[in-house]
Each structure stands twice: as C-alpha cells, then as structure tokens.
Chains A and B, each alone.
Chain A
Amino acid sequence: MHAHPPEHRIDEDTRSAVLAELAALLPASALLVDFEDLKPYECDGLTAYRQLPMAVALPADEAQAVAVLRACHRHGVPVVARGAGTGLSGGATPVNDGVVLSLARFMRILEVDPLARTARVQPGVRNTAISEAAAPFGLYYAPDPSSQIACTIGGNVAENSGGVHCLKYGLTVHNILKLRVALIDGEIVEIGGDALDGPGYDLLAVMVGSEGMLGVVLEATVKLTPKPQVAQVVMASFDDVIKAGNAVADIIAAGIIPAGLEMMDKPATAAVEDFVHAGYDLSAEAILLAESDGTPEEVAEEIAAMRAVLEKAGARELRVSQNEAERLKFWAGRKAAFPAVGRITPDYLCMDGTIPRKHLAHVLTEIARLAQRYGLRCANVFHAGDGNLHPLIMFDASVPDELERATELGSRILELSVDVGGTITGEHGVGIEKVQQMCVQFSREELEAFHALKEAFDPKRLLNPGKAVPTPRRCSEYRLTGSAK
C-alpha cells in the first residue's frame, strides 16, 4: 500500500499531561478518549485507511477551541481539524498520538445579510444549510459538492470544494469573503474582509484549499448568489466518447458557459441507471448533461444554442427537460454516480485528476488500457466543463492484492493526468491518499516552498502533519520504487 496514516509519537508523560489538561479545559462530554468513542473518528470518506487518534475534542465555542490548540501546541501534540468527515482523500484521517479537533458543535448560522448578499457562519454549518437559510431572500451559496447535504463549510474551505456548477459560479475560493482563523498557537487572525479585498497579501487564497494544515477556521463569511429564476438541462447521448468530448469544446467555442456540463461513460451510466432510473440511453458510449440557468428568456436562448451545437457535433439523441421534476431526474443519476457504483462493487476508489479537456479521448483510452492491465473495472464521471475527471476504480478489498492493484492503477491514472498537463487533484484534495503523487507533480524546490509556507503558519508542524505535502525523503523513495510506468 502506498498511502498510510501519518505517524507521530509522543512519550507517556506528554500524553498524560496533555490529556489531563484537555480534561480540565473541556466538559467530560466534549473529550473522547475511549476506544468505542474514538472509533467513529478513525477515518473520513477515504475509508480504506484508518487510525485511532489519542483523543477527540469537541469544543462548543471559540474559547474552548483555542484552549485545545494552545494545550496541544505547548505539548507538541498534533491536531487534526475535522468537519463532517466526508472528505475523500484522508484529509481528516487522525494521526496516532494526536488530537482530532471536531468542529461539529460549531453549527450556528450567525448572520444572513440579504442586502449585502453574505452569510456569516460557523465552520460546522452544512453546505446546504447555508442555502436553506438564504432561500427566503432568493439567494443561495453556489458551490455544490456532491456531499453538500452532509459536508460542512469548514471542510469546504479546507478542500476548496467545487461541484457541478463551478465552471460558471466558481469554487469555494471564489465564494469566501472572510475567515476567522485560529493558528496552532491559539492566535486569532481575520483573513479577507467584508469588502471585496483586504490589505496585505491574499492569504485567503492560501487558506482556502490548505487542507487544515495552516489554521483552523472558526468562522466564515460567504458570498450568496441570486437564485436563477429557471434552469433547464439538455441530455445528449453519443456513440463515441471522442465525439462527446468534441461537443463540449464546441459548446465553449460557441461562447456558452453552461451552468453545468457533465459527462458519464457507458459503465457509469449503466451503474446509475440501474439505481435511479433516470432514463439514460444505455447503449450510448457517453452521456452529456448540459444545463442552462438564468432568466426564462436567457435559458430559452441558451438551450436552443446548445441543442444546435450538440446536434451538429453528432449527438444521436437529445432530450431537453420539460419541467423541474424532469430536470432533477436527469441530474439524479449524475449526482448518485458514486453510490451507484458503490452498489455494483464491494469497494471503489474515486480518482480526481483534472486534465486539459482536449486530451480526454487519449486519457480515457489510456485508463481503459491500464484498467485491463491491472485486471480491474473502471467507470468514468467527468466534470466536462472544467476538465475534472473522476475515474471510479472498482475492486474487492477482500480479495488479496486487489486494494494494492487498485491503488497502483489510481497512481498511474494520476500520473497520466500530470503527463498531459493536468493535476492529480481537482477538488478532493491530496490528504494522505495522493501525497505520493505530489512528488510527480511538483519538484523538490516547489515542495520546499510549500513546507516553508506551512512553517510561516505552523512552525512546529503540528496541524494535520504528514498530509498533502510530502517530505523530500518520501519523494526520493517514491521516485525509486513507486513510479514504474
């Protein structure tokens, strides 16, 4: 196995000292130390890797959270911040002998300002809860990762989460105005502001997507977006993935930025159709969903334009949603793609590379070839508008060697993404899962710069250690042994 939970050892004296201190700081219900209480925290959405922490702290307010950080900092104990634990790359996997700082109790929406179109929320607030609170004002929070019912805004900030609408509405980094952050030594800094920019360096850009390694978000001010009046989706089926890929380029070339532009290949369509009965064309090699939103006039114009482009691009069947129920039905399959694949295989690994779209055909062909070589099946779900590809590698962990083969196949796919000019992770983060592949994407000097930046925030390297940025030594080992293409 390539990835493994990071390790950190502290001595017995430190352990009992820090536990005693935490017990004094927190009510008994806010400090978990027993095996059965710690068990639910042993992994996040990357369930293949598990590690029990030394303790889980569940502070109820800022003072308690800061006190926990200070105590851990003083004793040199690692801290892993955690939201809902839906992350897919092991960003919230505990460190042994470390403390998990759960922000689950920070679940208040502090303020919704409809005129300024902002919401100030605590980090444990769920993504959809923000949109629900904003709905009475005709507003919503735009980034919509597929885990949005469960995932928290604190986690979204840590991962710079995207979603199916981010080509038009941006990622988390485009939708956050201000963060109230605790550094590991307990110091509070406010980054960004209520205006559109703040003085000094754009540290907001660095905080968003920093995978909990620079600071702990205690409060976030997010932008709210006016809810489009209507949305409509075109579903197109193609007898060839290359044609479907070209159709996406044609839509962009026609000057259209669809609200959503998603592709699924045949294995993915088969898995979801069986699950949600969305009415997908099962004989198609690729299905494309292209959504338009805005005013009724705008949507009518854009849908007509997209229909024309898709027809010309060789779509063999085109269906336009005729009402909201149908639109949601078309989307249901795409949104349920991961669980649907989960139904037809005991286990799966979800990859997350982004590629320049023009290389789609090459990449999909290569993935099929590699999957065959490793004796595994793979379904592909593609945020076609922005090039973010999610190959779902199916395997059975109970078969000796299959997790290892799946992991290797995943590594090869990520290296392929880098080879064509893309990245190993578009929206799921590096975590522990892809930490080795960082050695492929970045040079030793670039990784050194990341480490230096980390130390500017966290000199003792206690926040989420061992994640996201590999040590030079780990890269040397990986380059020697891991990257056999």
Chain B
Amino acid sequence: MSDLSQQFAARIRAAAGPLVLRGRGSKDFYGNAPQGEALDVSGHRGIVAYEPTELVITARAGTPLAEIEAALAEKGQMLAFEPPHFGEGATSSATLGGCVAAGLSGPRRATAGAVRDYVLGVKLLDGQARELNFGGQVMKNVAGYDVSRLIAGSLGTLGLILEVSLKVLPRPVAEATLRFDLPEAKALETMNQWAGKPLPVSATAWCDDVLTLRLSGARAAVAAAVEKLGGALVAASEASQFWAGLREQQLDYFAGDEALWRLSLPSTAAPADLPGATFIEWGGSQRWLRGDIDAGHVREVAAKLGGHATLFRGGDKSVGVFHPLAPALAALNARVRSALDPRKVFDTGRL
C-alpha cells in the first residue's frame, strides 16, 4: 500500500460514522445529500500503466480525467463513453475516481456503451480497510463476481476506489455532424430507425425541433452516411463545440437554476406528457426536462413509459434524487451494500 492509501485505510479503521468520499468535488451537485465526514481522496493520483496496444489504461482514482484524456489523445485513443467532467472553469477538476463512482456517460453512450461497460478492474479499500482487487487489466475475465462494474455508479457507497483499469478505444478517423428540422415524435422515430441500420452514428441530440446527429468512423463510412442521410452539414469547429457543450451541459438549454430532471427511458418511448422544455439524447434513451415539476408526477410518467426519473441538478432533493426501487429490489440493493460494507463506513445515503 502506498502512503496515501495507508492513510485512507487508517481513516476507515478509525471511522465512527460514514465517510463521504470526495475527489475534487466536480460532481458534488449529484445524488442525495451525503451524511458523514468528508474524506478527500484526490491526492492519490497518477497513471499507473498505459499500454495503447493492449487498449487498457490503469490509473489512481485521484488522477484528473483531463490528464488521462490527454495521455490517450497523444496515442490517438479515447475514453469511448465520453465522460462529462462537470468541472468549473477552464481547467476541469474531475477525477477518474469520481467519473467511475458517479457512473455518468456522455453523448456517445447509446452507441459505445457506458462507464461500466469499459471498467475492466478496480482496486478498492473496503469498509474493513482491506485492499481488494476485482477484475483486472484484460478485456475478458469471468473469474469471480463482477464487482468492478458494480462499483461504477455506486457513488462511493460500497468502497473507496484506489485504482481503476479501463478499456480504451482508438479515436475515430473521421467525424461529421448533420442537422435536420424535425418535431419531437418524428425525431424519436427517425433516431430509432437509424440506430437499426448499419450507420456510423455516434451521438444524437434533439431540442427545439432540431435533430443533431454525429457520425464517427472510417472516412469512407462517414462520407457514405452523409451522402445517404442528407440534412445540413455543420462546420467541424461548430460541431465539436456543440458536442463538448452538450457533454459538459454548457449549452443554453442547461443554463439557469431551474431543476433539471433526467428521464432514462426506452429509446422508443413516446414523448413524455410533462411540462417543461425537453432535450433528448442517446437516440431517445436519455431525456432532460427543465422546471419545478412535481416529483411524484415525473416518476409516474417515467415509469409508465418504461423507465425512471432522476432529479439531476437543483430542485428540492428532499423528494429523493433517485427513482424509488421496487420493494424486492430495494431489499436486495440494501443486502448487497451491507455485504460489501457491513460496518456502514460508506453508507452515506448518497445513492
């Protein structure tokens, strides 16, 4: 164990109540308000191993996401799930550990997969301050239960992430962004139809009757798709600004303090009959909603459409940020949590 992980272990052993794990706070806004004493883990940083031809990077949890992305970019590779940083200001403060713990993915998620799909292994300190390794540094690994993917999105409530190994992918050779004027229902139908065709779609966004589509892949494939789909071609610089702005929620739609709801729905679900402006991503699977809408009502509508609703930013968190689980599933979640952390060291209530 390194010095810092020994310090973390000592804090865990000495903990009388829950510890709230924190990197550099870029996602403090997310999740239920955690109860407990803060433990800053951002000092535990650095890339441990990066093998471009193995498509694997391993880094300590406090490593800035920006540092990882820069190292990958140098070798023409990327984190395919396009994690949002949500860092303030020009330099992002997001860390790898926070990225995995929050489990949030960006515009490419519908076609490339989520954070959890790229997690290959984790090194953890559990609630008994034991250093545990799950998964590993290889793509295919079915030895033992897949605890490393379980950690993705667990918001620090299962253990302290020390290191993560992620699968990485080459950056696409070519990219093009197209715009189409389409109303919501038609846009949803179109996105789903395109997703069923062998087209190199890498991201979709719909707002204000405009559907924006990103194509990524081999030069010839992108060119052929542009030809086939029509629409208005968006200039490369404007396009990259748009997709980065969407990933970081810096587009106009996301401005202001009004509550932001995230509806996670089947991609083919009909337009949600709810008040508030809508922004659709992920081919129809992720739909944002602005406004102080009654939580019970949002959740009822989302559930009827086959999905769930999260109070993502702002609003009144006392309604519970996350969609309530069915009783049997809630009980199972609780048993899983205490199985991995019987001393309740990470039971902050954030998830």
Q: Contact residues of A with B, CB < 8 Å?
A: 113-117, 137-139, 159-160, 162, 166-167, 170-171, 173-174, 183, 187-191, 193-203, 205-206, 208-210, 214, 226-229, 249-250, 252-253, 255-257, 294-295, 297-298, 300-302, 354-358, 383, 386-388, 421-430, 434, 438, 441-443, 445-446, 449-450, 452-457, 468-469
Nearest-Cβ distance from residue A228 to partner chain B, whole angstroms: 5
List 16 A–B pairs whose Cβ atoms lie within 8 Å, in order of A's numbering.
Answer: A113-B268, A116-B267, A160-B146, A193-B264, A196-B286, A197-B264, A205-B149, A206-B149, A226-B198, A252-B54, A252-B55, A294-B221, A295-B225, A298-B200, A427-B140, A430-B142
Partner of B109, one of A116, A196, A425: A196
Looking across the interface, which residue of chain B has its beta carbon closest to that of A457?
Answer: B332
> Is B147 within 8 A of A386, CB to CB?
no
Q: Shortest Cβ distance from B56 into chain A, in angstroms?
A: 8
**Nearest chain B CB to A441 CB, angstrom units:** 6
Could you tell me if B196 and A162 are in contact, using CB atoms closer than 8 angstroms?
no
Bound-state CA distance A171–B286 (Å) is 23
- List residues of chain A with CB within 8 A of the CB of B116: 202, 205
Contact at A257–B169, with CB atoms within 8 Å? yes
Residues on A with beta carbons closer than 8 Å to the beta carbon of B326: 189-190
Question: Which A residues are CB-close (under 8 A) to B265?
Answer: 194-195
User: Across the interface, which residues of B come within 8 angstroms of A166, CB to CB?
Assistant: 139-140
| Cβ-based interface call for B349 (8 A) | no
Report the nearest A residue to B309, measured CB to CB. Answer: A199
15 additional A-B pairs beyond A199-B323, A253-B53, A449-B132, beta carbons within 8 Å, are A137-B196, A183-B332, A187-B328, A189-B332, A194-B306, A199-B308, A200-B333, A206-B147, A206-B149, A294-B217, A297-B221, A387-B139, A453-B147, A454-B145, A456-B336
Q: B223 interface residue, CB < 8 Å from A?
A: yes
A210 contact from B76, B131, B145, B170, Cβ within 8 A: B145
> Considering the chains assembled together, what is the distance between the CA atoms of A393 and B30 in angstroms?
52
Instruction: Name the residue on A nearest B52 (C-beta).
Output: A253
B70 adjacent to chain A (CB < 8 Å) = no
CB pair B322 A199 closer than 8 Å:
yes
Which 10 residue pairs spanning A and B have beta carbons closest together?
Answer: A297-B220, A205-B149, A426-B140, A255-B170, A298-B221, A456-B335, A249-B53, A386-B139, A195-B307, A456-B339
- Smallest distance from the beta carbon of B133 to chain A beta carbons, Å? 7
Instruction: From the candidates B130, B138, B150, B264, name the one contacting A202 in the complex (CB within 8 A).
Output: B150
Cβ of B340 < 8 Å from any Cβ of A? yes
Q: Does B183 contact A (CB under 8 A)?
A: no
Question: Is B134 an interface residue when CB atoms closer than 8 A count as contact?
Answer: yes
B36: shortest Cβ distance to chain A, in Å?
19
CA distance A357 to B51 in the complex (A): 10
Instruction: Indicate if the CB atoms of A453 and B266 lie closer than 8 Å.
Output: no
Assess whether A446 is in contact with B143, with CB atoms less than 8 Å apart.
no
Q: Mark B315-351, 1 if CB is under 8 A from A, else 0.
A: 0000000111110111011011111101000000001
Contact A295 B323 (CB under 8 A): no
The 8 Å CB contact of A206, one of B130, B150, B199, is B150
| A residues near B171, Cβ cutoff 8 Å | 255
For residues 102 through 121 of chain B, which have their beta carbon under 8 Å from a beta carbon of chain A?
A: 103, 109-110, 113-114, 116-117
Shortest beta-carbon distance from A207 to chain B in Å: 9
**Cβ contact within 8 Å between A173 and B325:** no
Q: Number of contacting residues on B, CB 8 A?
A: 89
Best-buried of B113, B134, B139 by chain A (most CB within 10 Å): B139
Q: Are A201 and B53 in contact (CB under 8 A)?
A: no
Cβ-based interface call for B192 (8 A): yes
Cβ-defined contact, B145 with A301, below 8 A: no
CB contacts (< 8 Å) of B134 on chain A: these are 446, 449
Write the nearest CB–CB distance from B162 to chain A, whole angstroms.
14
Which of A138, A188, A354, A452 touches B140 (beta carbons < 8 Å)? A354
CB–CB A445/B268 < 8 A: no
- Cα(A424)–Cα(B144), bound, Å: 10
A242 to chain B, nearest CB (A): 14
Give the CA-CA distance A202 to B150 in the complex, in Å: 5
Cα separation A449 to B137 with both chains bound (whole Å): 20
Nearest A residue to B118 via CB reads: A174
Q: CB distance A443 to B340 under 8 Å? A: no
Contact present for A452 and B113 (CB under 8 Å): no
Contacts of B197 in A (CB 8 A): 138, 226
| Best-surrounded residue of B113, B150, B198, B285 (most CB of chain A within 10 A) | B198
Report A9 CB to chain B, min CB distance, Å: 27
**How distant is A241 from chain B, measured CB to nearest CB, in Å?**
17
Residues of A within 8 A of B217 (CB): 294, 298
- Whether A195 contacts B308 by the Cβ 8 Å rule is yes
Neighbouring A residues of B143 by C-beta, 8 Å: 423-425, 430, 434, 438, 441-442
Q: Are A196 and B114 in contact (CB under 8 A)?
A: yes
Does any Cβ of A come within 8 Å of B241's Cβ? no
Query: Which residue of chain A has the shortest Cβ distance to B140 in the bound complex?
Result: A426
Partner of B110, one of A137, A196, A449, A452: A196
Please indicate which of the listed interface residues B131, B153, B189 has the most CB atoms of chain A within 10 Å of its own CB.
Answer: B153
B6 at the interface (CB under 8 A from A): no
Structural contact, A429 and B266, CB atoms closer than 8 A: no
Q: Name which residue of chain A comes closest to B144, CB basis.
A: A450
Give Cα A202–Cα B55 distance, bound, in whole angstroms. Answer: 24
A215 to B: closest C-beta gap in Å: 9
* Least distance between A263 CB and chain B CB atoms (Å): 15
For A297, what are the chain B residues with a Cβ–Cβ distance below 8 Å? Answer: 218, 220-221, 223-224
Shortest distance between the CB of A386 and any CB in chain B (Å): 4
- Chain B's closest residue to A205 (CB) is B149
Residues of chain B within 8 A (CB-CB) of A174 are 113, 117
Task: Compute how far the CA of A203 lies from the CA of B330 in the bound complex, rounded to whole angstroms.
Answer: 11
Q: Name B329's closest neighbour in chain A (CB-CB).
A: A189
- In the bound complex, do residue A202 and residue B149 qualify as a contact, i.e. CB atoms below 8 Å apart? yes
Contact across chains for A195 and B140 when beta carbons are under 8 A apart: no
B145–A195 contact, CB under 8 A? no
Closest Cβ of chain A to B231, distance in Å, is 18
Let me know if B310 is at the binding interface, CB within 8 A. Answer: yes
Q: Does B175 contact A (CB under 8 A)?
A: no
Task: Answer whether A450 and B145 are a contact pair too, CB < 8 Å, given A138-B196, A354-B139.
Answer: yes
Contact B51 A443 (CB under 8 A): no
B126 within 8 A of A: yes
